[in-house]
Structure 1
Amino acid sequence: MTDSMKTIAIVDDDDAVRESLAAALEGPGREIALYPHGLAFLQSLDDGAPDLAFLDLKMPQLSGLDVLRRLKPQGFPVIMISAHGDISAAVQAVKLGAFDFIEKPFTPAMLDAAVAGALYKAGENGSGVALEALTEREREVARALNEGLTNKEIARELEVSPRTIEIHRSRVFSKLGVRNVAGLVKLLSDRSAKI
């Protein structure tokens, strides 16, 4: 952290989740703002944007994806959170501009890594690894993951076992320096890359 105050918004309709996230994220140089739903958060933006927002995927009235669509021009990082996450939702969130997508329950290490990556772009180190480093099969797997397919769906499409897809998926993540599907989608959209 720098010496400047960082404002972190937490948008979740579950009181317990908001409070536990706030407790986990509190610290020197951080101001935590809590919002019970997406509309309250959107209205708060008239008073200034946060440095970072944690946004729940499933909320009444406006879903996290609905809020994210309205935020796209705002320019601050958003980390989507959900107990009901799936690959399709994660891909959609990242394509709409989310920095990361993490599933509940969180560990302090997960939260710290997400905050550090979002605030300091540590997750965008780019590691200089070219997409050309992928084998043809790894490219097929990366394309399918980018389209939101699950391991089982990719295995059926490529006529291999799900375990084989897990191995290729792991190699894709390793070669491209990402840790999950959301990171892969973000990397590919940031680079406007064709695989």
Structure 2
Amino acid sequence: MANLTPTAAVVDDEESVGRAIKRLLRSAGIDAEAFSSGEAFLNRLSTDASYRPDCVILDVLMPGVGGVEVQRQLSGSGMPVIIITAHDDPSVRAQVLAAGAIDYLRKPFDGAALIRAVQAATGFPPVP
């Protein structure tokens, strides 16, 4: 039977941000898992063939593999990407949107806006 609950991966090096987004999404009926680095997320994807989130939320600036590089590596996977960042840079915004990001949100963002973006990205209807 198909999974009726949308899933999201939250990739942000600030663990408190990842936990907060995970709680927010779960309150909206979206299952979420947080990763504290791009490497940790990509490692999970490469080592667990059954792991495939319906949506990936990426922070742009992270030590090591940043969100833009993770998005590049996901290219062609069909996994929708939402970019979040505290450092709004018009050139990065243009780059990630041109590469197919579904949305680009500047921190701090409205929780409802993120939920709407994830719902749009996953194609799952809002939970009443």
Q: Name the TM-score class by shorter chain.
A: 0.7 to 0.9
Q: Following TM superposition, by how much is the alpha carbon of 1:56 offset from its aligned partner in structure 2, in angstroms?
A: 0.3
Q: Secondary structure at the match of 1:85?
A: coil
The TM-score, its normalising length taken from structure 2, stands at: 0.85
Q: Secondary structure at the match of 1:53?
A: strand
State the percentage of identical aligned residues: 38
Query: Matches of 2:79 and 2:27 in 1, distance apart?
Result: 20
Q: Does structure 1 residue 69 correspond to structure 2 residue 48?
A: no
Q: Secondary structure at the match of 2:57?
A: strand
What does residue 101 of structure 1 align with?
104
Q: Does structure 1 residue 45 correspond to structure 2 residue 45?
A: yes
Q: Does structure 1 residue 120 correspond to structure 2 residue 97?
A: no
What does residue 174 of structure 1 align with?
none
Q: In structure 1, list runs of 5 or more residues that go unmatched.
A: 123-195
What does residue 60 of structure 1 align with?
63
Match of residue 80, structure 1, among 83, 88, 97: 83
Structure ranking higher in helix proportion: 1
Q: Residue 39 of structure 1 aligns to which amino acid in structure 2?
A: E
Q: Following TM superposition, by how much is the alpha carbon of 1:8 offset from its aligned partner in structure 2, in angstroms?
A: 0.8
Q: Residue 85 of structure 2 aligns to which amino acid in structure 1?
A: S
Q: Secondary structure at the match of 1:110?
A: helix
Do the aligned partners of 1:80 and 1:98 also contact (CA within 8 Å) in 2?
yes
Do the aligned partners of 1:4 and 1:29 also contact (CA within 8 Å) in 2?
no
CA RMSD of aligned residues (A): 2.1
Query: Matches of 2:64 and 2:103 in 1, distance apart?
Result: 23
Q: In structure 2, list runs of 5 or more residues that go unmatched.
A: none
Give per-residue Cα distances to partners, 1:22-70, cap 9 Å, x unaligned.
Answer: 1111136532111010011011113222001110000001111111111
The TM-score, its normalising length taken from structure 1, stands at: 0.57
Aligned length: 121
What does residue 20 of structure 1 align with?
20
Query: Matches of 2:94 and 2:28 in 1, distance apart?
Result: 33
Q: Secondary structure at the match of 1:68?
A: helix
Query: Matches of 2:82 and 2:28 in 1, distance apart?
Result: 21
Higher RCO (C-alpha under 8 Å, 6+ residues apart):
2
Q: Residue 108 of structure 2 aligns to which amino acid in structure 1?
A: P
Give per-residue Cα distances to partners, 1:56-94, cap 9 Å, x unaligned.
Answer: 000001111111111102111110000002221111011
